[in-house]
């Protein structure tokens, strides 16, 4: 058996490293284990898009972004709110700015400088790192076991193993097999693109084309943003914002029909007037071009079926293009994961009821949120909460 530390953390992503920071700052000995050769790999991948740390909106609407888990996460987010995360990043020497959408980024627009400074600080606080050290569960005596045959019996354990998206970066959801007797909601793709049955011509001509400044409607929800046409369907920020509703509808009904407004800032009547101004005798393609539609938008309109020629009817179709989606993309292509260890399987300190002394944090918990800073914020906040829960248990 190895010499056990006070707390051993399984998983070196944002939640696990934040738990390590809280615990080591309190004077506890901490070891972080990760099966990958280096720590924070998914965190670094998030940095390729600018590292959207959190969001600047008021806390109440911020919390509502977590949908059905909003009230469950509220006390955790109140205990470690966006401003705390911003102050933490500044404390690591990272200047912060707020984008026009309210999203919060480090000025470096990448994760590597922040992660380097963070790991340096953790090492200075005595945290030990064990990369290439895969956790394999517990033995009959209740000791943590690892793939190299080592075992350990810490005073507390924090599991922060991530979801199942981006499995090449380390979080493949394999931990679900190790938590026997723990209620786990099925892992599903979140913030993900969807499949659509494109024609061969449309796929060849339009795949890889972004459609900007659209409005999307599904059910009672309306969002604005960009959609990327792919060879097999659609993805992009606006799609991700609706992905939970679309995914659940497809699971229930077999498909979901999304409505796309190609010209959300142009009222239908004005659009009809512009179409009519094209004059008689024009081909439909020329009419649509004169109405301001680009080739990809024209193609998308044709993919939806019959395109009316009468100006008012055509205007209404342009402002409500139906797109039938048949399936979400696979989990390994998703940005994040829904499902995981249910909060009903935990106490208020995020400790497993079935395994006292074992706490859970991060994306392996059963919550989901849209992109925009909400994902990282909840990972950090649950890491803080699990660490504080472990500290309280050790003190008692």
pLDDT in tens, 252-269: 999 999 999 999 999 999
The highest-level CATH class for domain 7-189+334-395 is alpha beta
Helices (H), 173-309: 200-206, 237-241, 243-253, 268-276, 284-290, 295-303
DSSP tag of 67 = G
Sign of CA dihedral 15, 16, 17, 22: positive
Q: State residue 147's pLDDT score.
A: 96
pLDDT tens-place values along the chain, 396 residues long: 555 789 999 999 999 999 999 999 999 999 999 999 999 999 999 878 789 999 999 999 999 999 999 999 999 999 999 999 999 999 999 999 999 899 999 999 999 999 999 999 999 999 999 999 999 999 999 999 999 999 999 999 999 999 999 999 999 999 999 999 999 999 999 999 999 999 999 999 999 999 999 999 999 999 999 999 999 999 999 999 999 999 999 999 999 999 999 999 999 999 999 999 887 778 889 999 988 999 999 999 999 999 998 999 999 999 999 999 999 999 989 999 999 999 999 999 999 999 999 999 999 999 999 999 999 999 999 999 999 999 999 998
pTM of the prediction? Answer: 0.93
Scored b (16 or more CB within 10 A) or e, 194-215 reads bbbebeeebbeebeebebeebb
Residues ≥6 apart with Cβ < 8 Å to 148: 133
Task: Give the DSSP H or E segment for 379.
Answer: helix 374-395
Half-sphere exposure of 261 (CA within 13 A, CB side): 18
For the stretch 195-222, pLDDT in tens is 999 999 999 999 999 999 999 999 999 9
Q: State residue 201's pLDDT score.
A: 96
301/209 Cα distance (integer angstroms)? 15
Domains in the chain: boundaries: 7-189+334-395, 194-328
Q: State residue 3's pLDDT score.
A: 53
Q: Which two tokens stand for residue 141?
A: 């005596």
């Amino acid at each position: 058996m190895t010499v056990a530390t006070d707390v051993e953390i399984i998983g070196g992503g944002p939640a696990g490293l934040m738990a390590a920071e809280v615990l080591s700052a309190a004077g506890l000995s901490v070891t972080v284990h990760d099966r990958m050769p280096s720590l924070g790999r998914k965190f670094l991948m998030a940095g390729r898009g600018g590292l959207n740390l959190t969001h600047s909106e008021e806390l109440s609407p911020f919390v509502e972004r977590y949908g059905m888990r909003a009230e469950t996460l509220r006390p955790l987010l109140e205990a470690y709110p966006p401003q705390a995360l911003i102050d933490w990043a500044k404390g690591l020497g990272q200047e912060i700015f707020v984008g026009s959408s309210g999203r919060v980024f480090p000025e470096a627009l990448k994760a590597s400088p922040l992660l380097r400074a963070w790991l340096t600080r953790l090492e200075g606080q005595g945290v030990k790192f064990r990369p290439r050290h895969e956790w394999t569960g517990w033995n009959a005596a209740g000791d943590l076991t690892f793939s190299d045959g080592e075992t350990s019996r810490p005073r507390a354990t924090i599991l922060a193993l991530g979801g199942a998206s981006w499995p090449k970066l380390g979080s493949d959801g394999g931990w679900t097999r190790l938590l026997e007797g723990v209620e786990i909601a099925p892992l599903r793709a979140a913030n993900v693109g969807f499949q659509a049955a494109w024609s061969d011509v449309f796929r060849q001509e339009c795949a890889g084309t972004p459609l900007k400044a659209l409005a999307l409607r599904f059910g009672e929800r309306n969002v604005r943003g960009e959609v990327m046409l792919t060879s097999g369907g659609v993805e992009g920020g606006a799609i991700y914002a609706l992905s939970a509703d679309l995914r659940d509808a497809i699971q229930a009904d077999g498909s979901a029909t999304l409505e796309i407004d190609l010209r959300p800032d142009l009222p239908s009547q004005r659009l009809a007037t512009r179409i009519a101004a094209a004059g008689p005798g024009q081909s439909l393609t020329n009419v649509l071009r004169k109405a301001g539609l680009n080739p990809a938008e024209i193609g998308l309109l044709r993919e939806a079926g019959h395109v009316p020629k009468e100006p008012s009817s055509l205007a209404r179709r342009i402002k409500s293009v139906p797109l039938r989606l048949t399936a979400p993309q696979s989990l390994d292509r998703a940005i994040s994961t829904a499902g995981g260890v249910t909060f009903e399987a935990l106490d208020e300190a995020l400790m497993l009821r079935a395994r006292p002394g074992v706490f859970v944090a991060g994306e392996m918990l059963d919550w989901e949120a849209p992109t925009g800073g909400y994902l990282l914020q909840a990972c950090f906040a649950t890491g803080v909460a699990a660490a504080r829960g472990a500290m309280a248990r050790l003190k008692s």
